[in-house]
Amino acid sequence: AQRVTQPEKLLSVFKGAPVELKCNYSYSGSPELFWYVQYSRQRLQLLLRHISRESIKGFTADLNKGETSFHLKKPFAQEEDSAMYYCARSAGGYNKLIFGAGTRLAVHP
């Protein structure tokens, strides 16, 4: 079965500390990988996708096909980064998404 695993339900760090949110996916073909973010009282929104190789709000994510991982990283966390983060992979020709359970990032002052 196609799965996305986010092993941490909660990641708590202090402002300025490095952040790494882990994501592993089940291998099946060549999926596209995404990170979505949901800030408090806001809708789920796309943060970044692996094919664009962008850095959004200081976050980057590298696809490691050997380890089937797509971890999200930021060198210096900010309080405004506090949110729920969901890793997702595509499935099917029309790119339905399979989501992980999410990791709540809490950045403390």
- Interface residues with other proteins (CB under 8 A) are 4, 6, 32, 34, 43-46, 49, 86, 88, 90, 92-102
In the complex, least distance from residue 16 CB atom to other proteins, rounded to whole angstroms:
29
Residue whose CB is less far from other proteins, 29 or 43: 43
* Contact predicate 3/89, CB 8 Å: no
Residue whose CB is less far from other proteins, 4 or 83: 4
CA torsion angle 26 93 53 21 (round to 10): -30
Task: Measure CA 80 to chain center.
Answer: 16
In the complex, least distance from residue 103 CB atom to other proteins, rounded to whole angstroms:
10
The contacts of residue 7 (CB under 8 Å, 6+ apart) are 22, 24
Residue whose CB is less far from other proteins, 4 or 77: 4
In the complex, least distance from residue 109 CB atom to other proteins, rounded to whole angstroms:
26
In the complex, least distance from residue 43 CB atom to other proteins, rounded to whole angstroms:
5
**Cα separation, 11 vs 13, whole angstroms:** 7
Task: Please report, as a single letter, which amino acid is at residue 72.
Answer: L
Residue whose CB is less far from other proteins, 15 or 106: 106
